[in-house]
Homo-oligomer: A and B are copies of this chain.
Amino acid sequence: MISDISPAEFLKKTILEICPIKDIVLDEFIRLFTVNKIKAGVDLIREGDDGSCVWFIVSGLLRSYYISPNGEQHNKHFFVPGTFCAPLTSLVANQPSPVYIGSLKDTEILSADYSGLEQLYLKFPELNLLGRKLVEWAWIGKERRETQLIMLSATERYKAFQKEFPGLEDHIPQYQIASYLGITPVQLSRIRAKI
C-alpha cells in the first residue's frame, strides 16, 4: 500500500505530519537512517542488551515484549508500518533494556544510531520539538493502554484491540493476541466462541 514511495520518503512524509521542521534539519535527520530487512521471528534487542538504535517500520510488524521469570512471553505493543519503535527505557535511562523487541513478520525498517541522533539534538536544538512530539504521542498510547488494562474486561480489551489494530488478527497467531490482552490462548478462544 506504500510501495510507491521509497522508505526515506515514507519517513519524511510521516515526520512532516507530526510537526513542521526545517528542510536542512529534516534532511540531516533522514540521513541518520539506513534500510534494514529482517526475517520474521528475529529479536532486534533482548533483555539486558544496551539499546542504541531507533527504528521506523516501513513494512511488516514488530512487537515489544517481556519474558517473566517463569519464561512466559507477554506482548506489550505491536508496531505497524509508519510508526517508530525504540528501547526507550534503555536509551533514556542509559540502562540495559528491560524489554525484548522482535519481528513477527518479515519486516523492513529504517534504523538510526541513537548517539547520532543525540548529536543532531545538540546541533539543532529545535529537533527536540520532534522528539518531544513523538514521545508525547507514545505516552498517550501508553495511557490508553493502561486505561484498557485496568478498566476493561478481557472481552472488551479484545474488541479494543480489533479497533486499534484493524486486520492485524488475521496475520498473527491468536496466542500472540492473547498475550497482548493479558490472558491465555484458551481464554481468548472462549471469548471468541461467545461473540
Contacts and interface: CB of A to CB of B under 8 A. Distances in A.
Nearest to A92: B136
A89 interface: yes
A135 B129 contact: no
Contacts of A99: 143
Given A66-B151, A125-B126, A150-B76, A143 B92 contact: no
Interface string A154-177: 000000000000000000000000
A140 B51 CA distance: 14
Interface residues of A, number: 33
A121 B20 CA distance: 14
A92 B140 CA distance: 9
How many monomers of this chain does the complex have?
Answer: 2
A27 interface: no
A101 to B, nearest CB: 12
A182 interface: yes
A46 interface: no
Given A125-B128, A126-B125, A76 B146 contact: yes
Given A128-B125, A137-B92, A149 B151 contact: no
Contacts of A150: 66, 74, 76, 149, 182
A70 B111 CA distance: 45
A159 to B, nearest CB: 14
9 contacts: A88-B139, A92-B133, A125-B125, A125-B128, A126-B128, A128-B129, A131-B132, A142-B142, A142-B146
